[in-house]
Structure 1
Amino acid sequence: MEPLEGSFVGTTSSEEDDPFPSVKERRIPICIFFRNARLILKFDELGREIAQIALPAALALTADPIASLVDTAFIGRIGPAELAAVGVSIALFNQVSRIAIFPLVSVTTSFVAEEDTIRSVSSEAQESECLEACSIENAENMELIPQNESSDHLSELIQISSFKVSKFDQMPRRRHIPSASSALVIGSVLGLLQAIFLISAAKPLLNFMGVGSDSPMLTPAQQYLTLRSLGAPAVLLSLAMQGVFRGFKDTTTPLIATVAGDVTNIILDPLFIFVFHLGVSGAAIAHVISQYVISLILLWKLMQQIDLLPPSFKHLQFGRFLKNGFLLLMRVVAVTFCVTLAASMAARLGPTSMAAFQVCLQVWLATSLLADGLAVAGQAILASAFAKKDYNKARETTSRVLQLGLLLGLALAVLLGVGMHFGARLFTTDVGVLRVISIGIPVCCLF
């Protein structure tokens, strides 16, 4: 006996078409952590898609903190006061940047993934209509051809159809993605505003962070912050472009660009710091150059794929960005306020505590950003799945990403605890700084 249509047992309605989670998952949301948990490390189609996006994204995200770690290691050889000064400046620069970066990148990734999926589906439909039209035209022409001549004209018709299809395939492939153009404009404007703000208010901001006028950290901190702020437009523009590439599920291109820029930074650091004797200013100049290298590479690659200039100003989606990015902005402000407050309190304790805080913060960022690769993969796949109304894949992706994030977090906690215990001397040889770092290691592991 066949089950009744719409019954809960053997229902004919497909799970893929059900936009709602099960009753159990609605009542106990934590159940999503255990959904198909046995598949957490399975390298199936979903696992491969997550890995292809997450691994390059994680490497790209950690490349910049690793470059900052290299900066920290080089500057630590100058002295603890300079290391602490750079730590305050980097903390201040990063907190101001993150207020704009995370909402911009996250919203861009979702919008681009959605628009690209819709565009791809529409393009496939147009190609299918073209092929169908060619087939109908060939059939009508064959009916008009005498039977004895049909074989002679058949090859000619096939060639004509092939030419039409190939002509369709050879149409310009550069995509028109309005949200991508909007993100680039917003990123450029925010970058310029950030540079002007940080350069003009460098000293008051450092005083607010606890670096007083009589502090030995003030002069090097002001030099580093002012010079590094010149790279703010490149930083925000490059991150906006990375959001576009993530929306395309292409995290390899941002990885290549980021590695190229960071290698440039690592090469120029000792050259400017020790050969040209520029000290912390040399480290800032090297970092700024590396950011513009990253931006130029990404811009060159992006120009090959999309139309950067929209048909008109009305095609830009500033309102959509502001509406969807507001809640993300509030969350980022709350998080950055906590980190900025911690850096300010450390700076008030003196150069030794601030230097230790800088080392712990940069190591923590470098390791924790590995998990953000999973977030990038989940965001891109979810946006594409919802655009296709594939709700089952959205649920499976959510569960798998959460499970992998929990597993990765536990592994990183162990790695960080062991690594920092033995590797702290790579950043400084000051006994006082090393002692404070040893106190901060358990806190880094916990979070």
Structure 2
Amino acid sequence: MAVLKLPGAVTCGTSGRELAGGTLKKAFLVKISTWNKNHGRYLGSRFAKRSRLDNVVKNCGLSSDEDAAEYKLDSSHLEEKFGSTRDRLLNGSSSDGAIALSGTSVDQSPTQDVQTELIMLSLPAIAGQAIEPLAQLMETAYIGRMGALELASAGISVSIFNIISKVFNIPLLSVATSFVAEDISKYADKDSAAAAERKALPSVSTALVLSAGIGLIEAVAMYLGSGPFLSIMGISMDSTMRIPAELFLKLRALGAPAVVLYLSVQGIFRGFKDTRTPVICLGLGNLSAVVFFPIFMCTLKLGITGAAISTVASQYIVAILMLWHLNKKTVLLLPSIKNLRFGGYLKSGGFLLGRTLAAVVTVTLSTSMAARLGAIPMAAHQICLQVWLSASLLADAQAASGQALIASSFARKDYGRVKLITHVALKTGLATGILLAIILGLSFPSFAKCFTNDSQVLDIVRSGLLFVSASQPLNALAYIFDGLHYGVSDFPYAAISMMIVGALASIFLLYAPPIIGLPGVWSGLTIFMGLRSVAGFMRLSAKNGPWWFLQDSQQNEVATS
């Protein structure tokens, strides 16, 4: 924030020399009102308490000549002087339009402020996003050393589990982040002291009730429908993968309630702008899985059954820890029906449900097409897909942090800050994608040996190097655009665009793999992420919709009250 400071005191951009004839006393409120002349919309106001003249200065330049006479200023001169200062402040030299009282000049870029806040939120979120995929990679590594059949069977089951368990959870997580951030902003606007108190938030209660119910439904569906789900994925009754895959899926189904619950709670913590607590819970829970894997799989010799038991146990540990910490931030009581926000969640969640289905179906179709190529190609695809998704989800942590910042600023109608956050998030996301591409390009051939010793599988995995590494910048931008859309509650566009993009990528996935094999699967996924990035850029470039303020000129008025 750039602060304009002159000896003694200043008002409205006037100099100390012009104020020689009078002294400044008391205080006035600088009000910055933002309008959009094309849309006729009032963007909101911000106030800053500053010095004023003995008489009340109205609109800082619209005061009467008589009131300004003793300060050797007339109203037109005040208006002219303040106009230049106001424009300088609003065009980037100050984040809140503040005119300080005395002292020396201090410059602090608002971009740096946003970058710092985004980084402070993103680092713990990135760690949190990395912990769970790392545990999944370790599970894949343990299972992979048992053989290609076990790895392929577990891969199919994990894909089905992700479809069923996360298809409802992702909307809950995203909507909870925005709704909780909006609730907190409303309390802060009403009373800053009351905002710090531990309260029962309707958005939190609704998210917990929905996640508990959805988790139970998913567990029953996966346990009882494991056979039909495997048939849909192309695993016939005669396949050698059928029996181990069905057993693995039934066991993993028992953890569905915990997964839906703790990921929903994670979204709530993001709404509180707290990304550190989920990292601690995820770290402790997944650390327990690391301890359980060798015990159940090797010591007790339970094989992939032991892997499933270890994962489920760690999921419930994470859920319990997160609920315990959440109770410190907000009141967790059985809510009354009238206080629940089912309408808002169902409306926004309905759009995101369609979006999530489109995304999951596309990725699942890629797995299904790989499975139809045989156990060896499927095992190679599972390794590439897990590394690809694990690396890509690091950008999702940045997107979630940007979403929380944008949601709170957008609720206050602080469009200047929303614009700044958007630019910073896109730049950091692209940088993250490029860095991941370089790291994976250099390390993936060697890293793949951690998952299997099968030479045939490794040969196919190495051919997927370009897919795993070069697509990372596109993946990062796609996730960042998603976070931006969620931050302004642009859920309808996020859903519709994803359905269109998913349909186009799915058409390619249906026809390319039978002709060119696994490269067709990987090319389809790359096209999918690329089109998501294009759709996101198109939305931000449009002059209508929630992002119109990025293109439209803003007329600002400073008033006093």
Please give the TM-score of this superposition, normalised by the length of structure 1.
0.81
2:133 equivalent among 49, 52, 65: 65
Distance 1:240 1:7, change over 3 A: same
* Structure 2 residue 410 is the aligned partner of structure 1 residue 386: yes
Alignment of 1:249-264 (within 5 A): 249-264=273-288
Higher helix share: 1
- 1:218 Cα deviation from its structure 2 partner: 0.9
Distance between the aligned counterparts of 2:177 and 2:135, measured in 1?
Answer: 24
303, 323, 336: which is aligned to 1:312? 336
**Count of aligned pairs:** 380
Contact 1:5 1:12 in 2 (8 A): no
Q: In structure 1, what is the Cα distance between the partners aligned to 2:433 and 2:210? A: 33
Distance between the aligned counterparts of 1:259 and 1:209, measured in 2? 32
Query: What are the equivalent positions in structure 2 for 1:23-62 lying under 5 Å apart?
Result: 44-62=112-130
Superposition pairs of residues 140-289 of structure 1, within 5 angstroms: 173-289=197-313
**Corresponding residue for 2:169?**
101
Asked whether 1:336 is paired with 2:360, we answer yes
In structure 2, the CA distance between the partners of 1:189 and 1:317, relative to structure 1 (3 Å rule), is same
Alpha-carbon deviation of 1:125?
6.6
Separation of aligned partners in 1, 2:77 and 2:427 = 37
Give the equivalent residue in structure 2 for 1:92.
160
Mapped partners of 2:465, 2:83: distance in 1 = 52
Residues of 1 paired with 2:460 and 2:286: CA distance? 29
Correspondence for 1:124: 192
State which of 443, 446, 450 in structure 2 corresponds to 1:426. 450
Q: Which amino acid in 1 is paired with 2:331?
A: D
Instruction: Give per-residue Cα distances to partners, 1:3-43, cap 9 Å, x unaligned.
Output: 977999776697499xxxxxxxxxxxxxxxxxxxxx89x7x
Matched AA of 1:206 = L
Larger RCO, structures 1/2 (Cα 8 Å, 6+ apart): 1
TM-superposed CA distance for 1:55, in Å, is 0.9
Asked if structure 2 preserves the Cα contact closer than 8 Å seen for 1:245 and 1:251, the reply is yes
Distance in structure 2 (CA, Å) of the matches to 1:398 and 1:5: 33
Name the amino acid aligned to 2:236.
G
Per the alignment, residue 26 of structure 1 pairs with none
What is the CA-CA distance between 1:122 and the residue it aligns to? 2.2
Confirm or deny: 8 A CA contact 1:5 1:11 kept in the other structure. no
CA deviations on 1:167-195 (whole Å, 9 max, x unpaired) are xx9xxx32221001100111111111111
Please identify which structure carries the higher strand content.
2
- The answer to whether structure 1 residue 414 and structure 2 residue 438 are counterparts is yes
Q: Equivalent residue for 1:83?
A: 151
Selected match of 2:460 from 425, 436, 439: 436
1:390–1:289 CA distance, 2 compared to 1 (3 A):
same
CA distance in structure 2 between the aligned counterparts of 1:76 and 1:352, rounded to whole angstroms: 12
**Cα shift readout 1:190-245 (whole Å, capped 9, x = no counterpart):** 11111111111101111111211111111111111100010000000001111111
The SS at the match of 2:198 is: coil
TM-score under structure 2 normalisation?
Answer: 0.65
Aligned to 1:152: none
Amino acid at match of 1:79: G
- CA root-mean-square deviation: 2.4
Note the residue ranges of structure 2 that are not aligned, 5 or more in a row.
Answer: 1-75, 93-108, 472-561
Where 2:464 maps in the other structure, the secondary structure is helix
How far apart are the structure 1 equivalents of 2:427 and 2:293? Answer: 39
Which stretches of structure 1, 4 residues or more, deviate above 4 A after TM superposition?
Answer: 1-14
Work out whether residues 16 and 390 of structure 1, in 8 Å CA contact, stay in contact via their aligned partners in 2.
no
The alignment-based identity, stated in percent, is 42
